[in-house]
């Protein structure tokens, strides 16, 4: 499986530097020129006791063998390991996976989200925390990936995923970006971004923020449906289950 080349793995460099005791701040650059600081690497290392309440509530729905998508520094995988779960952590960042392994994640692999396959095995739960519903990228790709994920999971599998409602804002820069997206035939919350850290920058990629009605619409007809939502707006965590 191919991952980010080392000289473009801005996200991974930030995680590894933080693990080694160096202060690090990454920024997210949007294709309209907007630049915003990210949450910072400390959030990717946060122990369970420091997690948002909505994440803790949603974790009750995680069971069986688990795939941790966009694992980052491995906070979810490590927590689940401690509670006896068989966990596979994946990320497209080789340095993030190195960070996971250094921190004690037993099974961490460089696998981009869209390259998941049956080689990983069958899962009972898929966790996509840290706004990682965004990895679906677009309406069309989300529906395609949900159908693929149906084939990689057990009969009563669940996806527990976090995102941000893009409409919970009054910032003129975001509202203008929504209008621009609509004119281009994109979802309002569909972003084209890259991550920057020191001299490193990732390639540009699509990232998707959705409202709850939009998430339900995306899931319709894919074999999945939203059954639970835990809110701390603008962010929320959804539990998506297989249809009978």
Q: Are 124 and 62 in contact (CB under 8 A)?
A: no
Residue 25, in any domain of the structure: yes
Distance of alpha carbon 34 from alpha carbon 30, whole angstroms = 5
pLDDT score for 41: 79
Residue 189, in any domain of the structure: yes
Q: List pLDDT tens digits, range 91-127.
A: 999 999 999 999 999 999 999 999 999 999 999 999 9
Q: What share of the chain is helix, strand, coil (3-state, %, to 5)?
A: 35, 30, 35
pLDDT score for 89: 98
Tokens found for residue 10: 């801005």
Long-range contacts of the stretch 144-149 (C-beta < 8 A, 24+): 145/113, 145/114, 146/218, 146/219, 146/222, 146/223, 146/224, 147/222, 147/223, 148/116, 149/116, 149/224
**Domain encompassing residue 190:** 6-242
What are the φ and ψ backbone dihedral angles of 199, each rounded to 5 degrees?
-90, 5
Q: How many domains does the chain have?
A: 1
Residue 1, in any domain of the structure: no
Residue 59, in any domain of the structure: yes
How confident is residue 39, by pLDDT bands cut at 50, 70 and 90? Answer: confident
Residue 89, in any domain of the structure: yes
How confident is residue 1, by pLDDT bands cut at 50, 70 and 90? Answer: low
- The size of the chain, in residues, is 244
Residue 39, in any domain of the structure: yes
For the chain, the average pLDDT equals: 96
Contacts of 211 (CB under 8 A, 6+ apart): 165, 166, 167, 189
Global pTM value: 0.96
Percent of the chain with pLDDT strictly greater than 90: 94
Residue 33, in any domain of the structure: yes
Residue 236, in any domain of the structure: yes
Which CATH number do you get for residue 185? 3.40.50.150
């Amino acid at each position: 499986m191919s991952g980010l080349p080392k000289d473009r793995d801005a996200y991974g460099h930030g995680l590894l530097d933080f693990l080694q005791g160096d202060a690090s701040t990454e920024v997210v650059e949007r294709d309209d020129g907007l630049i915003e600081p990210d949450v910072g690497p400390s959030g990717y290392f946060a122990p369970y006791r420091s997690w948002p309440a909505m994440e803790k509530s949603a974790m009750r729905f995680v069971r069986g063998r688990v795939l941790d998508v966009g694992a980052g520094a491995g906070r979810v995988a490590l927590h689940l390991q401690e509670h006896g779960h068989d966990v596979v952590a994946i990320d497209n960042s080789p340095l993030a996976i190195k960070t996971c392994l250094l921190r004690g994640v037993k099974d961490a692999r460089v696998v981009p989200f869209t390259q998941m396959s049956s080689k990983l095995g069958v899962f009972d739960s898929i966790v996509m925390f840290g706004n990682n519903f965004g990895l679906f990228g677009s309406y069309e790709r989300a529906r395609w990936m949900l159908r693929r994920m149906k084939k990689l999971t057990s009969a009563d599998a669940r996806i527990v995923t976090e995102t941000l409602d893009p409409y919970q804002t009054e910032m003129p820069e975001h509202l203008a970006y929504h209008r621009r997206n609509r004119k281009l035939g994109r979802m309002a919350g569909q972003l084209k971004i890259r991550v920057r850290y020191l001299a490193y920058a990732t390639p540009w990629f699509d990232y998707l923020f959705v409202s709850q009605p939009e998430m339900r619409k995306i899931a319709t007809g894919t074999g999945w449906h939203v059954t639970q939502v835990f809110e701390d707006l603008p962010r929320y965590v959804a539990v998506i289950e297989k249809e009978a």
